[in-house]
């Protein structure tokens, strides 16, 4: 990792787990870090922990609830009022296998938070990314995308809900989005690149949402045998800083089964690079969120919002 200075990185869910580890590493390399978090108290605690490691770092905290499109818009508007550039957007935050629930806008919780919230956030921030030389969008996928399928007839879970199935679906959606975003950026000659990555099988607190915890045995297994968060975060940092990346890559651990190890280029499941599926999902996301990417102006793309 090369040292950088005066670059700004937004990391969603950067208060814990892989997000915090990536934020800490990037802060140590000179990035100014903005932790985009649901819980400001936890965000401030995470900020203090980063500053304990890197007292000279610049770290800020701003509220973002990806399960609320109004919060997503407010976050982006607040950022754009204070900053004129954005070097790095890390779409990291995620929830895993909660009981059935819905976002504030009525979407199934995992699809709405893990995918649709990041889709809208990226659209809102793209004008600043496009203006910033060398900018990147990093979207966190998962090995779970290999087992995912997009059920367009049951995206809200009203026809049946299985937590793992819907988690796999949300992670496949993230992969499709990352690849399609890069194709559209290149098509419109926008210098920003989009890269996907995954942490392998990592032990993080993604197993908790609200008052619900994963079973104790599962958490004990994760802590003993899975890749620790600091190793899992290396794929994110590699995707964010490796100078030879040109967009459209998928980064993950190099070890057996791609579950553990240092980061290297990985190969997505064929479904993740299905262009027809990606375009259909993109159209559905625009319809569901009312947010549309505007790539027509190559030097300063905007975003339109349908009420």
Q: Would you please indicate which residues are annotated as catalytic (active-site) residues? A: 167
User: In Å, what is the CA distance from 194 to each residue of 58, 164, 182?
Assistant: 25, 26, 5
Q: How many angstroms separate the CA atoms of 37 and 25, rounded? A: 18
The three-point CA angle 49-52-55 to 5° equals 125
Show the beta-strand stretches assigned E in 86-216. 88-91, 136-140, 193-197, 208-209, 212-213
User: How is residue 61 annotated by DSSP?
Assistant: E
Q: What is the DSSP string of 106-132?
A: S-BHHIIIIIIHHHHHHHHHHHHHHHS
- What are the tokens at 228? 């620790």
Q: How many angstroms separate the CA atoms of 160 and 171, rounded? A: 19
- What are the tokens at 20? 């915090």
CA atoms within 13 A on the CB side of 182: 23
- What are the tokens at 182? 């890069």
Q: How many angstroms separate the CA atoms of 158 and 111, rounded? A: 13
């Amino acid at each position: 990792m090369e040292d950088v200075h005066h670059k700004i990185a937004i990391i969603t869910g950067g208060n814990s787990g892989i997000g915090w580890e990536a934020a800490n590493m990037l802060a140590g390399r000179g990035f100014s870090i903005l932790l985009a978090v649901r819980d400001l108290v936890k965000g401030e605690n995470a900020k203090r922990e980063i500053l304990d490691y890197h007292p000279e770092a610049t770290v800020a905290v701003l509220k973002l609830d990806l399960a609320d499109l109004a919060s997503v818009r407010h976050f982006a508007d607040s950022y754009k009022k204070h900053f004129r550039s954005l070097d790095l957007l890390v779409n990291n935050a995620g929830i895993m296998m909660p009981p059935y629930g819905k976002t504030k806008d009525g979407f199934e919780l995992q699809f709405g938070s893990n995918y649709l919230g990041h889709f809208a956030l990226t659209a809102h921030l793209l004008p600043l990314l496009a203006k910033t030389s060398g900018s990147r969008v990093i979207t966190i996928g998962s090995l779970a995308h290999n087992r995912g399928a997009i059920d367009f007839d049951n995206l809200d879970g009203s026809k049946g809900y299985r937590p793992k199935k819907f988690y796999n679906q949300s992670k496949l959606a993230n992969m499709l989005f990352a690849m399609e975003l890069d194709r559209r950026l290149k098509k419109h000659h926008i210098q920003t690149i989009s890269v996907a990555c995954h942490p392998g099988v990592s032990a993080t607190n993604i197993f908790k949402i609200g008052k619900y915890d994963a079973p104790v045995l599962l958490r004990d297994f994760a802590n003993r045998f899975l890749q620790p968060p600091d190793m899992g975060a290396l794929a994110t940092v590699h995707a964010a800083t490796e100078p030879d990346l040109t967009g459209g890559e998928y980064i993950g651990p190099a070890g057996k089964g791609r579950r553990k190890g240092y980061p290297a280029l990985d190969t997505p499941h064929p479904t993740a690079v299905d262009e027809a599926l990606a375009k259909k999902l993109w159209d559905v996301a625009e319809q569901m969120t009312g947010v549309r990417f505007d790539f027509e102006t190559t030097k300063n793309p905007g975003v339109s919002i349908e009420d």
